[in-house]
Amino acid sequence: MSKMSFENHIMKQFDEELEEIRTRLMEMGGKVEQQLQNAVRAVSEADSALAELVIKEEKLVDEMEVDIDEACILIIARRQPAASDLRLVMMVTKAVNDLERIGDEAKKIANHAVMLAGESTTSEGYTEVRHMGKSVISMLNNALDAFARFDVDAAMRTLEEDKQIDLDYKTALRELVTYMMEDPRSISRVINILWVVRSLERIGDHAKNLCEQIVFVVKGKDIRHQ
């Protein structure tokens, strides 16, 4: 094998390894998105069985994180990537962390869903969960879609969605506090709902991080503090 063909072979292997970690990250993103959807549904429908499933399957998200991190470490050690390739590997390690955190928040939501399912079935507060849940699920889906296509424009549009989620969170807080003041008997239940919307707001922040990382890997530009 000539030196040039050997180098081409090595580069092909490297490209395949990069594509593999990218594919595995998308699989993890799909699993996390499913966890979030199920957690929100478990709250809205008082479905404790679905909530328990989310809690159980959070371990799968953790395992995915460890596997992808190990793959990234191997690539850095064996290939010593530079420039855009290094940015991609760095982006994957950061994105994996954000996805794992989203998985953690989905588990927290599921834990509160279990508690809520055993309490009153009145609908106060669930409107906020459904509304914020729909927005956050959409934002995460858009962020993952932008990553799959390395679409900077889509990432920048998705970034803006976090502003509305933050506003919705503040509105939900005001409304939920009002419920507690008007009906002290609802305090225990509403506190659980408060923790749910807090987790949703945090998930929006992690989806925002994913979008910022897309800009970094494509443009080499850090926009986190702009």
How confident is the model at residue 124, as a pLDDT?
A: 54
Give the model confidence (pLDDT) of 176-213 as tens digits: 999 889 988 888 889 999 999 999 999 999 999 999 99
- Helix, strand or coil for residue 45? coil
Q: What is the Rg, in whole angstroms, of the alpha carbon atoms belonging to the chain?
A: 20
pLDDT tens-digit profile of 59-98?
Answer: 999 999 999 999 999 999 988 887 788 888 989 999 999 9
221 band by pLDDT with thresholds 50, 70 and 90: confident
Q: Answer yes or no: is pLDDT of 123 > 60.
A: no
pLDDT per position as a tens digit, 126-135: 888 999 999 9
Give the domains, in start order, of the chain with CATH numbers: 3-219 (1.20.58.220)
Nearest to 102 by CA among 135, 140, 159: 140
Q: What is the pLDDT of residue 6?
A: 36
The average pLDDT across 99-118 equals 96
For residues 167 and 225, which has the higher predicted lDDT (pLDDT)? 167
By CB neighbour count within 10 A (0-12 exposed, 13-18 middle, 19+ buried), where does 153 fall? Answer: exposed
Neighbours of 71 (CB within 10 A): 19
Confidence of residue 4 (pLDDT cuts 50, 70, 90): very low
Least confident window among 75-89, 138-152, 168-182: 75-89
